[in-house]
Each structure stands twice: as structure tokens, then as C-alpha cells.
């Protein structure tokens, strides 16, 4: 059994063959797919997908790119969505100082607001942090206690240690397979198995050999094989550990 803990099957890249993509994932042994809400509309679509497919669970969140347009009405709507059946986390939320599509102060306000929502609903959070490690840690520490996973981990050793010390989980995507990702592979080697999650972030970040093509949940099997080699354990061990971690983190049945 494997779990893709972060993908975006609601995105238009899957409109043509979404059913086939889900079927291929099942054929590759992916038992659960967590479809991540990254906007209010995306969160609505995620909940609809979870309702339509037994293997899919949803999150409700607003990406930091959307922070400039965030308002109280959106927060109320997101809270309503987060209470629906099969919604297992708030996310993705966080900070992105790389693209800066929204003002940094608005990103921070949105992040803290949705962390408080997660606390109120007793839900874990899926955190996006890109070139914003100091502020990400500052806000998460202010919001403690919080149960979090750092999605598509891209920080340095200091950030990794700080996240692990706070009890957070760490998730890696297929960019771990890239030829120039040696630093990232070093980070993956340091993460204890009990804190490790796997994701595709599909349709983005296809693995080496598939770059330029759309990613999809079935590729989590290739990622698991790659991580097993990095960690020096069997693929079965990686599948067992990461699936158990995902089930525990998201409270999957």
C-alpha cells in the first residue's frame, strides 16, 4: 500500500482523463490520495472529488499566492468546507517569498488565520514554505500546538532540524529524483522514517525521465523506490512506514 499525500486532481490538467488517472493509481497500489485545496474553489472541488471516489480524501486551504484576495467571507466558507465528511486537514497554507504573488504581510496574516482555524477544528495542517523558512517557523511556533507536515520540503539542515524538533512531519516529492537535487537527497536521508511522507504534487514535479510531462499519483511508486535507495531499506519498508504515517497524520480509516 502507498499513499499520495499531496496532489491536485481538481486542476484542469486532469479534466481530460481524471478517471483514468485514478484507475492507474489504484493499479499501482496507491490506496489513498489526498487532494489538496489551494484556493476556495479548489477546496470545493477537492471535497467533491472525495465524495465521488472512495480512495480520495480532501483538504481545505488557501495557498499564499491567493493571500491578497483573502477576506472574512472566504474564511467562513472555508470553515464550512473543512467540517464536511472526508476533509482531513487544513492546507495547503503557508508562505511563498519566491514568487511573491501576494504581499508578504498578507501571506503572514492568512497563514496565522488558517492555523487558528485548524486548531479550532482539531485538524492537522499542510504547510507550503518557499524561501520563507524564518517566518514560517516563527508563525508555526506562535500557533503551537499544531500538527503539521512540511510539504515538498526544500529547506536546509537547520530548517529541517527545527521542524523535526517541533514534531512536524516532512514530505518529499518527485523532485528528489532530479540530477541536481543532491542537497535535497541529503535532507531525505536525515528524516526519521516515522516522520516521512511521500507526495507527487501532481500535476507538477514529474520525476526524472518524465520531466516536461504531467505528473500523476501513480508515480508515487517510483518515488518510494527512490527513497528506499536513499535510506538503504527495502521498498516494502518505505511503503509500510510512509503509509502508516499518512494514515496516522490524516486519521485515515
CATH code, domain with 238: 3.20.20.140
Reference 125, options 136, 133, 179, 134; nearest CA is 136
pTM of model > 0.85? yes
Reference 199, options 167, 165, 175; nearest CA is 175
Q: How many whole angstroms separate alpha carbon 79 and alpha carbon 81?
A: 5
Residue-wise pLDDT for 32-60, tens only, equals 999 999 999 999 999 999 999 999 999 99
Q: Which residues contact 61 (CB under 8 A, 6 or more apart)?
A: 36, 37, 38, 43, 78, 89, 90, 91, 92, 93, 114, 126
Judge contact between 223 and 206, C-beta under 8 A.
no
Name the grid cell of 133.
523558512
Q: Which pLDDT score, from 0 to 100, does residue 25 have?
A: 98
- Whole domain around residue 182: which residue ranges? 2-250
Q: Which pLDDT score, from 0 to 100, does residue 69 have?
A: 96
What are the start-end ranges of the H helices in 97-151?
104-121, 133-143
Judge contact between 124 and 5, C-beta under 8 A.
no
Q: Which residues of the chain have pLDDT under 50?
A: none
Q: Which pLDDT score, from 0 to 100, does residue 192 have?
A: 98
Q: Which pLDDT score, from 0 to 100, does residue 128 have?
A: 98
Identify the three-state secondary structure at position 187. Answer: helix
Q: Which pLDDT score, from 0 to 100, does residue 231 have?
A: 97
Give the DSSP H/E element, type plus range, for residue 50: helix 40-52
- Per the structure, the count of domains in the chain is 1
Cα three-residue angle 76-132-98, rounded to 5 degrees? 95
Amino acid at each position: 500500500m502507498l499513499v499520495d499525500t499531496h496532489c491536485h486532481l481538481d486542476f484542469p490538467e486532469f479534466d481530460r482523463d481524471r478517471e483514468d488517472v485514478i484507475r492507474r493509481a489504484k493499479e499501482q497500489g496507491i490506496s489513498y490520495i489526498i487532494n489538496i485545496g489551494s484556493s476556495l474553489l479548489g477546496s470545493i472541488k477537492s471535497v467533491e472529488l472525495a465524495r465521488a471516489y472512495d480512495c480520495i480524501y480532501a483538504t481545505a486551504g488557501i495557498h499564499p499566492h491567493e493571500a491578497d484576495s483573502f477576506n472574512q467571507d472566504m474564511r467562513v466558507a472555508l470553515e464550512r468546507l473543512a467540517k464536511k465528511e472526508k476533509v482531513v486537514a487544513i492546507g495547503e497554507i503557508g508562505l511563498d517569498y519566491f514568487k511573491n504573488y501576494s504581499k508578504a504581510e498578507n501571506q503572514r496574516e492568512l497563514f496565522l488565520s488558517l492555523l487558528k482555524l485548524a486548531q479550532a477544528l482539531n485538524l492537522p495542517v499542510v504547510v507550503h514554505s518557499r524561501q520563507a523558512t524564518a517566518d514560517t517557523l516563527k508563525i508555526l511556533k506562535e500557533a503551537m500546538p499544531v500538527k503539521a507536515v512540511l510539504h515538498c520540503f526544500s529547506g536546509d539542515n537547520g530548517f529541517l532540524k527545527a521542524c523535526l524538533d517541533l514534531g512536524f512531519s516532512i514530505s518529499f516529492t518527485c523532485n528528489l529524483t532530479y540530477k541536481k537535487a543532491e542537497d535535497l537527497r541529503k535532507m531525505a536521508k536525515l528524516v526519521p522514517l516515522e516522520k516521512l511522507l511521500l507526495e507527487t504534487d501532481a500535476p507538477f514535479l514529474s520525476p526524472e525521465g518524465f520531466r516536461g510531462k504531467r505528473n500523476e499519483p501513480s508515480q508515487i511508486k517510483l518515488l518510494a523506490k527512490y527513497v528506499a535507495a536513499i535510506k538503504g531499506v527495502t521498498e516494502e519498508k518505505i511503503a509500510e512506514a510512509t503509509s502508516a504515517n499518512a494514515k496516522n497524520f490524516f486519521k485515515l480509516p
